[in-house]
Amino acid sequence: MSDHTRLRIKFQKTGPIRYIGHLDVMRFFQKCVRRAGIDISYTGGFSPHQIMSFAAPLGVGLESLGEYMDIEVNDRLEAEEVSTPEKKPPFRIHSEILVQRLNEASVPGIRIVSVKKLPEDAENAMASVAAAEYQVTFREGRVPLLFQGDADTIQSAVRDFLALLAIPYLKEGKKGTREIDLRPGIYRLSWEPEKSALFMLLDASSAGNIKPGQVVEALLDRHGQSLAENALKILRLETYTAVEPEGKGERKLIPMDEVGESF
């Protein structure tokens, strides 16, 4: 290992913690890595800050099983930190030890799943996000008419929706409302009757990010229906990055931690 190593950390955010916003989750991790005794690298200058990058921000109220952040750590001290009478440095710190230490320094709603070492040429978490997969269910009493029907009706509505060449959607932004086309960013959409849930794989890149709620609204709009306030329960299942296998050139989506390796 060189002096600095970049680590990709996968974590889940579930339960009441879903009400902690993205910026506060970042602040949480700044303290969590320090509590875990991880020797994170800092930028230089008069107000140094930790070298840390988050993948796709998760909105308040959403839960996730596949969140990612990258940190840069100093190796040398890393080994000293975990020395015990039985285990003397130098030795290599393991992924599992870091997972364990981070979880001990975390809160119940934020669970660290894996820590992997990134190759030197890997893009940082924020830049490399390509897509995210969601499970979307409806709150009790707020199931739209379309989704109260039988499985076939719903599935054919989804099929028809996906058959469209363009799905115009009016997006409200800071600079007013503008029309966007959702269709290119919907990579997969299906209804699973046994779970009463929509599953969708959507563009989550900074250029073309689409939200699950927008997809549901557009789908309902085709049937002259709309969504009640706060009707959706959204669980992000995984966040993906894109790789282009050598030679073939076709883009492939893989979970963001598959870029790195356990150590």
Partner 1 sequence: MTTEHLALSDDILMKIEKPARYIGQEYNAVIKGKDEVDVRFAMCFPDVYEIGMSHLGIQILYDMFNHMEGVWCERVYSPWLDLDAILRKEHIPLFALESQDPIKEFDFLGITLQYEMCYTNILQILDLSQIPLLGRERTEEDPIVIGGGPCAYNPEPIADFFDLFYIGEGETRYRDLIELYRKCREEGAGRKGFLLRAAQLPGIYVPSLYETVYHEDGTIASFQPVVENIPARIRKEVETELTDACYPLKPVVPYIKVTQDRVVLEIQRGCIRGCRFCQAGQIYRPVRERDLERLEEHALEMLKNTGHEELTLSSLSSSDYSRLPELIDYLIRECGQRHVNISLPSLRIDAFSLNVMSKVQDVRKSSLTFAPEAGSQRLRDVINKGLTEEDILRGAHLAFEGGWTRVKLYFMLGQPTETEEDIRGIAELCNKIAAEFYETVPKEKRVNGRVQIVASTSFFVPKPFTPFQWAPQCSKEEFLEKAYFTRRSIAEQLNQKSIKYNWHEADASVMEGVLARGDRRLGEVILKVYQKGCFYDAWSEYYKHDIWLETIRECGLSVDFYTTRERSLDEIFPWDFIDAGVSKEFLRREWLKAQEGKTSENCRVKCQGCGAAVFGAGICFAERSQRDE
Contact residues toward partner 1 (CB under 8 A) are 15-17, 19-21, 24-25, 27-28, 30-35, 37, 42, 46-48, 60-61, 105-109, 139, 229-230
Packing angle of the helix pair 151-163, 212-221 (nearest 10 deg): 100
Of residues 46 and 163, the one with the C-beta less far from partner 1? 46
Residue type present at position 126: M
Minimum CB distance to partner 1 smaller for 32 or for 219: 32
Q: How far is CA 31 from CA 17, 40, 59, 95, 152, in A?
A: 16, 11, 21, 20, 49
Q: Whole-number minimum distance, CB 104 to partner 1, in Å?
A: 11
- DSSP code per residue over 195-217: GTEEEEEEE-STTT---HHHHHH
Give the residue with the Cβ less far from partner 1, 16 or 119: 16
State the pairing for strand pair 168-173/110-117.
Answer: unpaired
CB of 59 vs partner 1, minimal distance in Å: 10
**Radius of gyration of the chain measured on its C-alpha atoms:** 21
SS3 category, 168: strand
- Judged by beta carbon, residue 37 or residue 89, the one nearer partner 1 is 37
Minimal distance in Å, beta carbon 62 to partner 1? 11
| CB of residue 46 to partner 1, shortest distance in Å | 5
- Measured CA to CA, the distance from residue 41 to residue 134 in angstroms comes to 33
By C-alpha distance, which of 10, 230, 37, 6 is closest to 140? 230
In whole angstroms, the minimum distance from the beta carbon of 190 to partner 1 comes to: 25
Which residue lies nearer to partner 1 by CB, 37 or 57? Answer: 37
**Which has the closest alpha carbon to 5: 92, 106, 126?**
92
Closer to partner 1 by Cβ: residue 229 or 246: 229
Q: 174: alpha, beta or left, given left = phi > 0 and alpha = psi -120 to 50? A: alpha
Q: Measured from the CB of residue 236, what is the shortest distance to partner 1 in angstroms?
A: 17
Measure Cα distances from 247 to 55, 122, 151, 244, 253 in Å: 28, 19, 42, 9, 16
Closest distance between partner 1 and the C-beta of residue 172, in Å? Answer: 17
Residue closer to partner 1 by CB (options 51, 158) is: 51
